[in-house]
Amino acid sequence: MNKKVVIGIVQHAPVYLDKDKCLEKAEGLIEQAAQKGANIVVFGETWFTGYPAWIDYCHEYAQWDFKPTKQAFARLYANSLEVPGKEVNQIGEWAKKHGVVIVMGVNEVVNSGPGNGTIYNGLLTWNEQGELANHHRKLMPTYTEKLLYGPGDGAGLKSVDTSFGKVGGLICWEHWMPLTRQAMHDSGEHIHIAVWPKVHEMLQLATRSYAFEGRCFAVAAGQIMRVKDIPESLVLPPELKDNPEHMLLSGGSSIVGPDGQYILEPQWDKEGIFTAEVNLERCYEERMTLDVTGHYQRKDVFNLSVNKERT
């Protein structure tokens, strides 16, 4: 295991609801991150092809049998990727080319077999050999997300072995689910990827708490989304329609050490690829006082069973 690792967070807007252009943009961003020395390249929640923040801003979406909302959903469906699929294979080739681990939030679609017609909020991890090493689906879509996404399963609740240690990840409010956190802690993470739409104050707290609890590095990846990225079929509220460059999602990406303190302070209101070098030896230094999978785990009192079947 290499003790020193460079983490790179991509805080750039995707090309919303256009999977071909989004894939093209991903190639350039992965290359830029690799040129900056990143060993692991991280993208935010549903970066491919964008987080559907319109469900929180265009309140007309909740109307029953409303054609503009159906059009927005159909466009999201058409521009989500299949797993496995050509986009997944292509990103794997770039991971292998640059010798990096890539963790990316995606909109995933199922076009055949069980789940046909369902979109999932997914988190994919490719290793340095370009293999899709983990495929996680968000266990519970949060609040209004339930209108768009199906519930996931436990198949992806694991970490991935890399040349520099174990990498795992969770999506957004999964970080408030205690047993989900424990399942990931039990997987032995050195680096945990926490993907969010925007990493506001409470989500910074969740990221810092996760790092402290798990005695690992926690990487919070936020998104950039502007008003102009909302599907054109939807009507904007008056306070937004004349301000197309206003950021609905303004990032907040950060990196936290296993003591719960920032290594990279939250990055707000700007696009960029933000990097920091970390020393994984610190994970073990901090486990002297707290190790929720070892000496601070009472397996004689508690028993956690996780169903890891893909449903």
Q: In 3-state terms, what secondary structure has residue 30? A: helix
Q: Contact, 232 vs 241, CB < 8 A?
A: no
Task: Confirm whether 49 is domain-assigned.
Answer: yes
pLDDT for 94 equals 98
Residue 255 lies in a domain: yes
CATH number, domain of 84, equals 3.60.110.10
Residue 123: inside a domain, yes or no? yes
Look at residue 301 and tell me if it is in a domain: no
Which pLDDT score is estimated for 68?
A: 87
Q: Which domain holds residue 13?
A: 4-286
> Would 306 be classed as within a structural domain?
no
Report residue 266 CA to chain centroid gap. 16
Helix (H) or strand (E) holding 224: strand 224-226
Q: How far apart are CA 146 and CA 198, in angstroms?
A: 18
User: Quick one: how many helices (H) and strands (E) in the chain?
Assistant: 8, 13
For residue 236, is it within any domain?
A: yes
Active site positions, annotated: 45, 138, 172
Q: How many domains does the chain have?
A: 1
Task: Tell me whether residue 107 is in a domain.
Answer: yes
Q: CA geometry: angle at 53 spanning 50 and 54, to 5°? A: 115
Q: What is the pLDDT of residue 2?
A: 64
Local structure of 163: helix, strand or coil: coil
Q: Following DSSP, what letter does each residue of 43-105 receive, concatenated?
A: --TTTBT---THHHH-GGGGSTT-HHHHHHHHHHHHTSBPSSSHHHHHHHHHHHHHT-EEEEE
Position 58 scores a pLDDT of 82
Whether this model's pTM surpasses 0.85? yes
132 within some domain: yes
Tens of pLDDT along the chain (311 residues) come to: 568 999 999 999 999 999 999 999 999 999 999 999 999 999 999 999 999 999 888 876 667 788 888 899 999 999 999 999 999 999 999 999 999 999 999 999 998 777 678 999 999 999 999 999 999 999 999 999 999 999 999 999 999 999 999 999 999 999 999 999 999 999 999 999 999 999 999 999 999 999 999 999 999 999 999 999 999 888 888 888 889 999 999 999 999 999 999 999 999 999 999 999 999 999 999 999 999 999 999 989 999 999 999 98
Cα-flanking dihedrals φ and ψ of residue 152, to 5°?
-90, -160
